[in-house]
Amino acid sequence: MLTDILSPAHRKVFYAVYAFIGVVLGAVQVAYATVNAGQPVALTVALAVYAFLGTALGATAASNTPTGRHVAEADYV
């Protein structure tokens, strides 16, 4: 599991970097679409690889999510 490899702090940085890359790729794609320019093949490939890796990343994150009762669900008297 990812918890055995990376600490929560490292995973947080990893997820933030992944999200930042997604924002950059999306912004570049929007820029090309805005000026009606053809999208470079490299960008198309990068977006496809990013989406493919996102599936694995999401599955890993979901498998490392606690399933117990959340603190917000506690019964307060």
Tell me the domain boundaries of the chain.
2-64
Measure Cα distances from 13 to 5, 70, 73 in Å. Answer: 14, 24, 28
Please answer whether residues 50 and 21 qualify as being in contact, where contact means their C-beta atoms are separated by less than 8 angstroms: yes
From first to last of the 77 residues of the chain, give the pLDDT tens digit: 556 677 778 878 888 899 999 999 999 999 999 998 889 999 999 999 999 998 888 777 777 666 666 666 666 55
Is the full-model pTM beyond 0.85? no
Per-position DSSP letters for 26-69, written without gaps between them: HHHHHHHHHTTPPPPHHHHHHHHHHHHHHHHHHHHHHHTS--S-
pLDDT for the residue numbered 35: 94
Enter the tokens of residue 10. 């490292």
